[in-house]
Structure formats: structure tokens, C-alpha cells
Amino acid sequence: MLPMDSAKKISFNRCISDGDLVIVYERHDTMKAVKVCENSVLQNRFGVFKHSDWIGKPFGSKVFSNKGGFVYLLAPTPELWTLVLSHRTQILYIADISFVIMYLEVVPGCLVLESGTGSGSLTTSLARAVAPTGHVYTFDFHEQRAASAREDFERTGITNLVTVRVRDIQGEGFPDEFSGLADSVFLDLPQPWLAIPSARNMLKQDGTLCSFSPCIEQVQRSCETLRSDFTDIRTFEILLRTYEVREWKMDHSKSDDGDSVACPPCKRRQPSSEASAGDKASSPAVMARPSAETRGHTGYLTFARRKCVS
């Protein structure tokens, strides 16, 4: 997924080959990660797709099934991966992920600690940010979940950047071997305040911490714990509003009966009727409006820096 190996980096000359991970794109909300295997097929509502047809085509190609249906084959990115990974836990999405990485000041070469691993959505983006020389150590107390995450990182080819370990960070804290070495620590735990003293010990001075919590009570308690050894404690909430775009035929003509003047709110609905398309006074215009349904809350992001005392 990450261009660590220049031969595998996407380019005009890079074609899909046996063993590649591709994202099969049906629609913006229907995608699937598939490992290309010469003798294998993909079956979906559009028909049967032979992997052998894909090999040798560039990423971003449109490919057809036996029935003439089509999908697109995309090169995997952490953003696409977040949309296709199997949800073993609640995951972090792009807005929170982007903000966390920017606010934690994660740059190439950083050592980052994360707990819990969960489904590895954030982990993948953290790996992208610390590459090529940094490393992410991620901890989860759930053995099976850690194993699945390890398999996923194997699949996405980021194992040289990520190490998954099984450990109860709330109960035991982070391993001492990282003491004073971490540039950043990320906590997504039910009781983050229990892990904060250990996180403090792991961090370099002026190192950054982020705790993600869905509930304000968790934030309240974490902030109280943070106050003793941390500074610059700030809590945020970030959401993304998405927009729908379509072309309207705007009706500029004044109705003879004065209707449009009498009830302006109705004008908004009028253009949607296809009947008005032929109107002599209408002109096409591209318009945007917020999508009707949207995520209302993900979690609060609390950031802090370890106090600098020496």
C-alpha cells in the first residue's frame, strides 16, 4: 500500500500483477479489498470477473465481467482501506484520523505508541505518516483481534512499520522498553485516565498525546489526570459534512398566476421535476447541498503535551 519499494509504487508503467492487493470499486459505498490471484475469480451482482483479466492492466482500470458488468480496480490507500476493512471494533474515520496525525505532529521517523489496535484503521494511517524510518507499536488486550490486525498489516504490506502486541495497557501500562522514547502516544481506551501515567513515562519531553473518547465524562476525567504532567491540554470534536452535487434546470420565468412570488419556498422543489426541463427560460446550473444523512458524533479528541521540565 505504501511506496516503500519503488518497483511497486504506482506509476504509468506499473501494472496489476499476481499477488497485488486491489480495491474493487463498485460504487462510492460498495468496495472490497481483493488479493489478485491468477486462477481466482471475483463474483458479485455484476457477474464473474476473472483475475487473469486484471493482470497487466494499470491500476484505475475499468474491468468487465462475463455478463458485461464492470468495476474499477484501484490501488489501495489508507483512506480506501478504512472503507473496506472488516470492522472488529468501532473504527476511526478520515476526519478524526487526519486531525490526530496532524495534531500529534507525527512525521517520518517518529516512534508512536497506540492502544488499542482495534481494527487497525488509524494504525494504517500512522504507519503512512512515520514511514520510511519511524515505527508504530500498537497494543490490544484482545489476542484474536491483535492476530487479525497482524494479518491485515501483512496484507497491506506495512509490517515493517507496525508491530502489534497483546497487552492490557489500562492494567499494565506500556512496556518499560519504550520509556522516554515515544514522540507520540494515542489512546482509544474506555478508561484512558488509567493509562495516562504510563503514557507520560513513555513520552519524550514535549511529546504529544491524544486520547479519543466518545463520552464527555471520559474526557472530563482524562483532563483531570492530564493536568499534573501535561500542558497545552485541548479537546476538539471534528466532523465532516459532505455535499451532493447535481445539475438543475432553474426556472427563471415568472409564472403568469404569480405563484412563484406568492410561495417562494416552493421554488426550491419545482426545479426537481423533470417536466420543467423543456422550459424556454430555464438554464442549467450546478448546485450543491449537504447530504441529508450524516454522522453526528464520533468522539472527542483530547490532545496534550508532556511538560518540559529539564
From candidates 35, 67, 234, 268, binder to other proteins by CB under 8 A: 234
Establish if 241 lies at the interface with other proteins (CB under 8 A): yes
Q: Near other proteins by CB under 8 A, which window of 167-175, 188-196, 223-231, 256-264?
A: 223-231
Distances in Å between the alpha carbon of 46 and those of 70, 75, 127?
Answer: 7, 21, 35
| CA–CA distance, 89 with 288 (Å, rounded to integer) | 34
CA angle 72, 73, 78 (to 5 degrees): 115
Where is 292: in which H helix or E strand?
none
Establish if 132 lies at the interface with other proteins (CB under 8 A): yes
Establish if 309 lies at the interface with other proteins (CB under 8 A): yes
Residue type, 13: N
> Among candidates 146, 112, 145, 105, which has minimal Cα distance to 127?
112
Question: Which residues, numbered 68-127, are part of the site for other proteins (CB under 8 A)?
Answer: 72-75, 77-79, 94-95, 97-99, 101-103, 105, 107-110, 125
Q: Near other proteins by CB under 8 A, which window of 50-58, 113-121, 141-149, 193-201?
A: 50-58
Reading the block at residue 124, the C-alpha cell is: 494504517
Establish if 250 lies at the interface with other proteins (CB under 8 A): no
**Minimum distance, C-beta of residue 131 to other proteins, in the bound complex (Å):** 4
Establish if 46 lies at the interface with other proteins (CB under 8 A): no
| CA–CA distance, 262 with 279 (Å, rounded to integer) | 20
Establish if 48 lies at the interface with other proteins (CB under 8 A): no
Q: Which residue has the cell 514522540?
A: 183
Report whether 186 contacts 114 (CB < 8 A): yes
CA 186 from chain center: how many Å? 16
From candidates 21, 41, 55, 238, binder to other proteins by CB under 8 A: 238
Letters for 257-296 (x = contact with other proteins by CB under 8 A, - = none) are -----------------------------xxx--------
Annotated binding site: 119-122, 140, 168, 188
